[in-house]
Structure 1
Amino acid sequence: MTCNPSWPEIQEHLQPMEEVQNRPDLVSRVFRAKVEEIKTDIQKRNIFGKVAAIMYTVEFHKRGLPHAHFLIILMDGYKLLTPEAYDKIVCAELPDPHIDHDLYKLVTKHKIHGPCGYLNPSNSCMQKQGKCKFKYPKELTEQTTKGKNSYPLYKRPKMITPIKVKGHNIDNSWIVPYNPYLLKKFGCHMNVEICSDIKAVKYIYKYICKGHDKIAFSVNNNDTNIEIDEIKEYQSARWVSPSEAAWRLLAFAISEMTPSVCQLQFHLDGQQFVSFKNNQTVDQIINNPMIKKRC
């Protein structure tokens, strides 16, 4: 789920001639409210079914917009095990504008990837091999099937008349999977996937827990006569955007896990870790009732 700078909650609070990037505090407050609302939808309203566990982490793009990654684990009676169950949650095709024009506008605005590949070889998602790292365009198929070592292959029927986006003809192979209810409610880029394979599950856990962004930089002297040791001067630092700085100053949660998992220390009898102040004597430490209790 990625923050949409055009949300009315953001736009209506901007001063005349003020731009969104100048208000990281406003962006953070609105996005946090949206995150809390989607948590309510998932955990209390059970839009996907009863939830056994949920975890999420909030990250920030280099340009500053926040986004959140959610991992939802459903209870046994609500797990999505068949292609028919996948189709009730995830859609990957362009809706009929005559049936639902609002959803059609949202999909064309937020849920079309790129285009990249042969249509736009210079797109940011293109790798050195000349392929999209997100594997677009996707395969067109008339029905949803389970993928091999990947996410499901969602239903993407062939379109009679492609639509024009950014000067290119686009069909269902470029649609990012979405949930119609969430897309219409939140009006932002929100990629919804089913984790149907163990490799996809392992990747999702790794991605959510990957930690903060880092950058590499070096400081060089302008004097050309001085020999520069690039390895010695190399530095690794943390990257903090304005939105992340505002988010942390407002003390908003970066991540959450329900039910929570706590790390417990195991030790042999009398070999637990003991903390004490420098000015305490050995007798004071030994006679400390809290330390005896932890033994």
Structure 2
Amino acid sequence: MTDPADEDGTAMPTFTRLATNPLITPDSSPRIGTNINGPSLLRVPEHVPGRLGAYYLYFAHHTGTYLRLAFADDLAGPWHVHEPGVLDLGESFFDNHLASPDVHVTPEGFRLYYHGAYNDGRPQATRVATSPDGLHFTALEPELGPAYFRAFRRDGYWYALAMPGHLYRSPSGLEPFEPGPRFLTESVRHTAIWHREHTLEVFYTEIGDAPERIKRARIHPRGDWREWTEDEPEEVLEPETAYEGADRPARPSVIGQIDERARELRDPAVLYENGTLYLAYSIAGEAGIALARATVDSP
């Protein structure tokens, strides 16, 4: 008998880069600057008021004063930057910077998880903001957990995988998250989660890799959430093109912001649509955003 936990399939999909890459670069807008990272990609429901395009791509500057947004009617582009952005530092309950948007469409509207830092040295933390249209967000003051949330909803809870691989959960996702187990390794940077029926496909990169590249591990969410298990990781993408930094030397990556082009892929984000899994990622360190696609067997 087949274990239901294996029904999602195990084969690693083969990703193909879009011919129109890169989608976002410093040339996309003079306001966004040269540090570009942290994509979060989604399809915008047609009923959303003031809808700018069929797709929204949220992103950040590593130490930014606002969260960015680009929009398009086709994933291949052209992508247009929404110059005002969607959330300013002064509205975020942080005072040093804000980054790492993780955006979800819910029955109530849009939900944006983001992290920020304080000038007084308190640890970085995650908060949430809500919006009816995905363009104008209102931040909620409570801290929900540590930095770099990637959230998903399962079995009546909101879960979040935070850096470096710690899992948290909350009944509503709007209140502080309860800590749970840790997955992957202590060198994990940022993650992306493809939430499937029987498995969680986690795409991530690791600090210290040479070159830093995107990997995939599978988490099996069976039984008590503190006892979920994971498989060994597999490699997905590494820098192969000049826009990804393949023209730069392969050196061990380091934690934190990078302001020069490097042979590194960072910050994966995923979107599933009609048998295709799209993988967005930061290129050449934090120099822009590109997109790859793969045909997959089931949602």
Rg (Cα) greater in structure:
1
Q: Please, what TM-score do these two structures have when normalized by structure 2?
A: 0.25
TM-score normalised per structure 1: 0.25
More strand by share: 2
